[in-house]
A and B are shown apart, each in its own frame.
Chain A
Amino acid sequence: MVSFIVQRIAQGIVVMAAMSLLVFLGVYAIGNPIDVLLAPDATQEIRTQTIARYGLDRPLYEQYGQFVWRVLHGDLGRSFVFNMPVTDLIFMRLPATLELTLAAVLGATVIGIPLGIYAGYRPQSRTARWIMAISVIGFSVPTFWIGLVLILTFAVTLGWLPAGGRGETANLFGIEWSFLTGNGLKHLLLPALNLSLFKLALMIRLARAGTREIMLTDTVRFARATGQSETTIIRHHVLRLISIPLVTVFGLELGSTLAFAVVTETIFSWPGVGKLIIDSIQSLDRPVMVAYLVLVSLLFIAINFVVDLCYVALDPRMQKG
């Protein structure tokens, strides 16, 4: 077990080193940020000064060395565009993304699992077919397109909900949150729905497959023989048995939802980190791009590590290997 953890941590460090080098080289291979920073009529003197200030006149390996050194000290550099530390910038935007992601994943779970169980419990019913049709749409239609249709329907045509932005926020633990105000909730609803549809489809499929399988087992047959009601069987036996794979997927999907938030945030102008990265790619704000990519890789390695640990904890066979 200990050797497994040590091995995985070592592997994580190697991956992070490789990722940071790739991202750094890749990001520095595109465009010239100085052209973005300065007005076209800037004098040569100002140009040279600016280049020197951002350390862009140094050789690449030196820039990378300095970058790694600063990252290890928790400094990811300053944004060219916002002229503030990247770490502050990302942490300022992070609550908006977390709020959106959690709302989407929770919504998908709370709505998807009952629908999936129903579809698995009565697979031939008309409702079940409708539920499966929704899941097919959620799977195959691109997220951004669903977002557009949601805006067109609920914001433009019906005028019920706002088309973008975070709305009013309220302060909790020193951080601004949208879900604490009525206006903020209204703003949160459409983006969260948009982001959750893919997860919803996934949850429906998993819950349906699990339920169908379990309904055929002896567990359900014996439970019925003891005279338990169908509701009790579903609540106590089916739900409990299908929850193990669902929890795993829930954890894994949190990470990919963060990635998909890039699309949803762009459509609904939700001021989170996803919107930040798209803006920074377009304005060639290198420090923000590098920092975002390094942080996201770190996040994914951490999530995979935790999931692996859970597997080891759940499956005793893994502990020997």
Chain B
Amino acid sequence: MATGQLRRFWDEFAENKVAVAALFVVLALVALALLAPLIAPQNPYDLSSLVLSDSRRPPGFVGSKGFTHWLGTDAQGRDLLSAILYGLKISLQIGLSAGAIAFSVGASLGAGAAFIGGRFEAIAMRIVDLQLSFPAILLALVISALTGQGKLQLIVALAAAQYAYFARTAHGAAVAERSKEYVEAARSTPLSSLRVLFRHILPNCLPPLIVVATVQVANAIALEATLSFLGLGLPPTEPSLGALIANGFQYMLSGRYWISIFPGIALIVLIIAVNIVGDQIRDQINPGLRR
């Protein structure tokens, strides 16, 4: 995209104050997650720094280490604010990596199928359609149950559950592109097919894919949290936001709400903010909604 276009895109984006605020929230959360090791009062993974007698204390409690736990502590005596900052980092990391992998695999498969055509296209898109008829949560659940716990396994499970959305979108866009004259022109030159596909066709399929990407990153974060909540995501030693919520769930019935509620608020603020930004981008990119 040329700079002028980008500028116009931003000007239009800036007209929607809610979207700008949401974008600010997303950026702020990303910054907090990146800076977590510097700003968190405690390293929640350092088990030796945890004091068991400080566990399950309400917000505002001054622990034996001398600093105030503004959001309270969890069952292991972890400072919740620190745990949330680190958890945010893990949730974002997993959501973004799963989204990026699903994007690359799905877009290549979808556009490639449209480009190659024939039997490969028919079979590949049939598989994608079939997968889309199953809810993503079920697929992610099955795959993560099969692959076991761990960050890498979780990313694979999420990407495998989500690539089909990208493949479907890329295929639709590439089918519209492949018969255009510029593609024909590019193919008549000695450029390799791969180059035509990745440098000429795929960039023109990007706008709808970007829209899917924002939605899917938010979905990946929500899915990861759900799986971790069900005990199928990450091991409890390195909790994401979902795992933190799950850890606190058992204490909620006895009124110790903060262990679950604060990570949960961080999670939904993140998801809703990403969704609002995504909605705005979709409205701007979708030509059908253009004024």
Which residues in A have some Cβ–Cβ distance to B below 8 Å?
15, 23, 26-27, 29-31, 136, 139-145, 148-149, 151-152, 155-156, 163, 255-256, 259-260, 262-263, 266-267, 277-278, 281-282, 289, 293, 296, 300, 304
Among the listed B141, B146, B242, B245, which residue makes an inter-chain contact with A29, where contact means beta carbons less than 8 Å apart? Answer: B146
A263-B137, A300-B134 as given contacts; A143 in contact with B226, CB under 8 Å: yes
User: Is A145 touching B245 in the complex (CB atoms < 8 A)?
Assistant: yes
Looking across the interface, which residue of chain A has its beta carbon closest to that of B144?
A281
Provide the bound-state CA to CA distance between A148 and B58, in Å.
19
User: Is A260 touching B229 in the complex (CB atoms < 8 A)?
Assistant: no
- List A contacts of B146 (CB < 8 A): 26-27, 29-30
User: Is B257 touching A142 in the complex (CB atoms < 8 A)?
Assistant: no
User: Is B135 touching A156 in the complex (CB atoms < 8 A)?
Assistant: no
- List B contacts of A255 (CB < 8 A): 135
Provide the bound-state CA to CA distance between A139 and B138, in Å.
17
Which residues in B have some Cβ–Cβ distance to A below 8 Å?
130, 133-135, 137-138, 141-142, 145-148, 218, 222, 225-226, 229-232, 242, 245, 249, 252-253, 255, 257, 260-261, 264, 267-268, 271-272, 275
- List B contacts of A142 (CB < 8 A): 222, 225-226, 267-268, 271
User: Is A289 touching B272 in the complex (CB atoms < 8 A)?
Assistant: no
- List B contacts of A27 (CB < 8 A): 146
Q: How far is the CB of B236 from chain A (nearest CB, A)?
A: 13
User: Is B231 touching A278 in the complex (CB atoms < 8 A)?
Assistant: yes
Provide the bound-state CA to CA distance between A149 and B268, in Å.
12
Looking across the interface, which residue of chain A has its beta carbon closest to that of B146?
A26
User: Is B142 touching A262 in the complex (CB atoms < 8 A)?
Assistant: no
> Which of B145, B218, B261 has the most chain A CB atoms closer than 10 A to its own CB?
B145
Provide the bound-state CA to CA distance between A151 and B254, in Å.
12
Looking across the interface, which residue of chain A has its beta carbon closest to that of B265?
A145
Q: How far is the CB of B162 from chain A (nearest CB, A)?
A: 15
Q: How far is the CB of A141 from chain B (nearest CB, A)?
A: 5
A142-B226, A304-B133 as given contacts; A152 in contact with B252, CB under 8 Å: yes
Identify 19 residue pairs between A and B in the complex whose beta-carbon atoms are under 8 Å apart, listed by A's number. A26-B142, A30-B147, A140-B222, A141-B271, A142-B271, A144-B242, A148-B252, A151-B253, A156-B255, A156-B257, A259-B141, A260-B135, A262-B138, A262-B141, A262-B230, A263-B229, A278-B231, A281-B145, A293-B142
User: Is B148 touching A30 in the complex (CB atoms < 8 A)?
Assistant: yes
Looking across the interface, which residue of chain A has its beta carbon closest to that of B272?
A140
Provide the bound-state CA to CA distance between A74 and B218, in Å.
41
Given contact pairs A15-B130, A149-B264, A262-B141, enumerate 5 new A-B contacts (beta carbons under 8 Å).
Answer: A145-B245, A151-B252, A155-B253, A262-B230, A278-B231
- List A contacts of B147 (CB < 8 A): 30
User: Is B229 touching A144 in the complex (CB atoms < 8 A)?
Assistant: yes
Looking across the interface, which residue of chain B has its beta carbon closest to that of A257?
B135
User: Is B264 touching A148 in the complex (CB atoms < 8 A)?
Assistant: yes
Looking across the interface, which residue of chain B has its beta carbon closest to that of A304?
B133
Among the listed B130, B218, B222, B230, which residue makes an inter-chain contact with A278, where contact means beta carbons less than 8 Å apart? Answer: B230
- List B contacts of A267 (CB < 8 A): 249
- List B contacts of A26 (CB < 8 A): 142, 146
> Which of B142, B148, B255, B271 has the most chain A CB atoms closer than 10 A to its own CB?
B142
Provide the bound-state CA to CA distance between A17 and B35, in Å.
49
7 tightest A-B CB contacts, nearest first: A26-B146, A259-B138, A256-B135, A142-B222, A259-B135, A281-B145, A140-B275
Provide the bound-state CA to CA distance between A148 and B241, in Å.
14
Provide the bound-state CA to CA distance between A92 and B249, in Å.
28
Q: How far is the CB of B34 from chain A (nearest CB, A)?
A: 24
Provide the bound-state CA to CA distance between A161 and B253, in Å.
13
- List A contacts of B272 (CB < 8 A): 136, 140-141
- List B contacts of A289 (CB < 8 A): 145
Looking across the interface, which residue of chain B has its beta carbon closest to that of A164?
B253
Q: How far is the CB of B170 from chain A (nearest CB, A)?
A: 23
A140-B218, A140-B272, A148-B245 as given contacts; A262 in contact with B145, CB under 8 Å: no
Provide the bound-state CA to CA distance between A267 and B253, in Å.
12
- List A contacts of B232 (CB < 8 A): 278, 281
